[in-house]
Structure 1
Amino acid sequence: MGIHWFILSAVAVILAQRWLFRGFAMKRVSYTRTFSVNRCFEGDRIEMIERLVNRKALPLPWLRVESLLHTGLKFESGANFDVSNGQFYQNHKSLFSLMGYKQLTRRHAVQCVQRGCYRLTGASLTTGDLFGLFKKWTQVPLQEELLVYPLPAEHPELRLPSRSWQGDITVRRWIVEDPFYVTGVRDYQAGDPLKSVNWSATARAGKLQVHRRDYTADYRLLVLLNVEDHEDMWEVVNNTPLIEQGIRYAAGLLQYATEQGLETGFVTNGHDLDVPGVPVATPMGSGNEHLTYLLECMAKLVIARTVPFDELLLQLAEEREERCDLVILSAFMSDKIALAVERLRRAGHSAEWLPIEERREGGAA
């Protein structure tokens, strides 16, 4: 009889713990996942932080957390988690075991190997009893976003054209006179305001003399990126690494121009992650805050053509009255694009083509 009572007792315990864990295992359990930063550059190393809290006396014998993450986030080796890599996404699994009224924080080292906007929208939690007789699954919503900025290309790599926006030089173009830039005096002409009269020079010359003011550049740089990788492209971009290099060129140009005090803007026939089908066209601005805004736009840029690049240039020539220095980043220069560039020049803009080249080993183009 003793062995029978033992078997019955064991079965009763197993069934009791099965009922207990089935009804209460996921009660008062919370899981969160965050990044150590929410903004970084390509190549930076950050941390993904998981935090599990059990606010009840019943322990969690085991809990598995699974989620899909983009392969642009490369996890370094570590214990208690596993990563199954695919071409674009990877399945991340973490395994926890937690006593009652305890919390556990786990940090994973991550290298951001690709520009992009990475959003954590949810994770699946699976738990069960001590003997594996049942499993219970639930979905936990997450709201976490990581923006990885493109790594700006170095100045020597850009091979910048020698244009007015590369320095504080005087030019005689479409720009109006600078009231603070006096280079001498000249004879008074009809229409000159009296406040421009130089009375000392007038007394010496015996006739009205006015300040001579020179022309200075009103520095505005607009970077235009073509996401088409070859001339005969229809819809799909095949050589995305080449276009990624173009985005790095754009980031380097905009960073350099901002450091020189220029107003900058960014236009591309790709689209924003949240606004599909519409080309990206930012307003002009200056300063570090505006540069950060441009980098955020490039982080969210989807490499997919919305309109042919030559059509975008023609539309720009018709709509943009404010004259700018244009740098065109494109892997090729077709006849249609060349005609559109000439149209922009006739509208008063200066335009230079900076070819996008493949990135060789060691990071050089």
Structure 2
Amino acid sequence: MGIHWYILSALFVILAQRYLFRYFGMRGVGYTRNFSVETCFEGDRIEMVERLANRKFVPVPWLRVESLLHTGLKFESDSNFAVSSGDIYQNHRSLFSLMGNKQLTRRHSVLATTRGCYRLTSASLTFGDLFGMFSSWRSVPLNVELLVYPQPADRSLIQLPSRSWQGDITVRRWIVEDPFYISGVREYRPGDSFRSVNWSATARTGSLQVHRRDFTADYRLIVLLNVEDHAGMWEVVNNPELIEEGIRYAAAIMQYATEQGMETAFACNGHELDQPGEIMKVERGSGSEHLHHLYGKLAKLVIARALPFDAMIEQLSAEWEERCDIVLISAFMSEPIEREMAKLRSAGHSVDWLRIAGAEEVAAG
């Protein structure tokens, strides 16, 4: 009789806990996941933070969290964090156990190895009872985005064209008189406005004197990036790493131009992550905020041709009414591209080609 009682009691406990955890196990349980930063550069080490909260007295015996993420983020080994990695995506799993009215935070070290936009849209939560008699799952929506900016290329490795927007600016191009910058006085010349007369200097010298205004240059730079890695390319890029290097070139040039106080625009015949089929175009701007906007666009750039490079130049050139410095970043040069460059020069623009060097060329140099 005693043994039967123990068996019946054990069965009752097992069944009771099964129904208890089945109907109350996930009530009051919340799960969130995010990154320690919203933006970073290639090669930066950041953290992915998981938070689990149990807001009821019934414990959570075990909870497994699974989700997919691109392999561009490399996770360190962790006893509570298993990673199964493929060529493009990796599946990672976390195992939790939490008492009632408790919360738990885990931090996982992540190395951002590749430029890109990494999004966490959902996670799958699998839970069950103490004895594994049942298990169930539910999907938790997430809205997390990490932008990994391209690491600007080493400027010493880039053969930049010799233009006025580099180094110490000594040659002024497209010079215009600045009405707010007065550097002295000079003799009146026919055509000078009487509003510019310096009456104090005129009275002192006995001859008509006008304000001498200094000159400033209006610097405008347009960076054009070609995602085609060879002439005659259709849709598929054979050497994506070569184009990634071109993206780093673009980041370095735009960073340098911003430091020089130039207004910078950008266009590429690839497309943005959320706008397939459309070329990427960023209007002219200046300052650090505009530079980070450019970095964000580069992070979301998809290396897939939306338009032939020469066709993109022809399409955009009609919008460039003011003369600009234009830098073409491309792995190759072709006759159609050369024709478009000649048209730009005839319109008064300064145009240069910056060839993307492969890894073997950089090493040899």
Give yes or no for TM over 0.5.
yes
Q: Work out the CA distance in 2 between the residues paired with 1:73 and 1:43.
A: 10
Deviates more, 1:9-18 or 1:244-253: 9-18
Report how far residue 236 of structure 1 moved. Answer: 1.4
Q: Work out the CA distance in 2 between the residues paired with 1:362 and 1:74.
A: 26
Structure 1 unmatched ranges of 5 or more: none
The corresponding residue for 1:170 is: 171
Please show how residues 105-120 of structure 1 align to structure 2 within 5 Å.
Answer: 105-120=105-120
- 2:170 is matched by which residue type in structure 1? I
The corresponding residue for 1:13 is: 13
Report how far residue 292 of structure 1 moved. Answer: 1.0
The corresponding residue for 2:30 is: 30
| Change in 2 beyond 3 A, CA 1:321/1:148 | same
Please show how residues 330-349 of structure 1 align to structure 2 within 5 Å.
Answer: 330-349=330-349
Report how far residue 198 of structure 1 moved. Answer: 6.5
> Does the aligned pair in 1 maintain the 2:185–2:209 contact within 8 Å?
no
Please show how residues 38-77 of structure 1 align to structure 2 within 5 Å.
Answer: 38-77=38-77
| Residues 168-209 of structure 1 deviation map (CA, whole Å, 9 limit, x = unaligned) | 3233x54433443769856623x3312345679989999767
Q: Work out the CA distance in 1 between the residues paired with 2:285 and 2:104.
A: 45
| Change in 2 beyond 3 A, CA 1:362/1:5 | farther
C-alpha root-mean-square deviation of aligned residues, in Å?
2.5
- 1:310 is matched by which residue type in structure 2? D
Please show how residues 344-363 of structure 1 align to structure 2 within 5 Å.
Answer: 344-360=344-360
The corresponding residue for 1:104 is: 104
| Change in 2 beyond 3 A, CA 1:273/1:344 | same
State how many pairs are aligned.
363
Report how far residue 10 of structure 1 moved. Answer: 2.0
Q: Work out the CA distance in 2 between the residues paired with 1:256 and 1:181.
A: 29
> Does the aligned pair in 1 maintain the 2:58–2:100 contact within 8 Å?
yes
The corresponding residue for 2:303 is: 303
Q: Work out the CA distance in 2 between the residues paired with 1:115 and 1:364.
A: 25
- 1:319 is matched by which residue type in structure 2? E
| Change in 2 beyond 3 A, CA 1:272/1:183 | farther
> Does the aligned pair in 1 maintain the 2:72–2:112 contact within 8 Å?
yes
Q: Work out the CA distance in 2 between the residues paired with 1:229 and 1:95.
A: 44
> Does the aligned pair in 2 maintain the 1:74–1:113 contact within 8 Å?
yes
> Does the aligned pair in 2 maintain the 1:266–1:281 contact within 8 Å?
yes
> Does the aligned pair in 1 maintain the 2:125–2:138 contact within 8 Å?
yes
| Residues 202-240 of structure 1 deviation map (CA, whole Å, 9 limit, x = unaligned) | 899997676676754211111111111111210112211
Task: Give 3-state SS (helix, strand or coil) of 1:138's partner.
Answer: strand
TM-score normalised over the length of structure 1: 0.92
| Change in 2 beyond 3 A, CA 1:66/1:157 | same
> Does the aligned pair in 1 maintain the 2:185–2:201 contact within 8 Å?
no
The corresponding residue for 2:159 is: 159
> Does the aligned pair in 2 maintain the 1:164–1:217 contact within 8 Å?
no
TM-score normalised over the length of structure 2: 0.92
Q: Work out the percentage of aligned pairs sharing the same amino acid.
A: 65
Q: Work out the CA distance in 2 between the residues paired with 1:6 and 1:42.
A: 62
> Does the aligned pair in 2 maintain the 1:170–1:216 contact within 8 Å?
no
| Residues 251-277 of structure 1 deviation map (CA, whole Å, 9 limit, x = unaligned) | 111111111111111111111112221
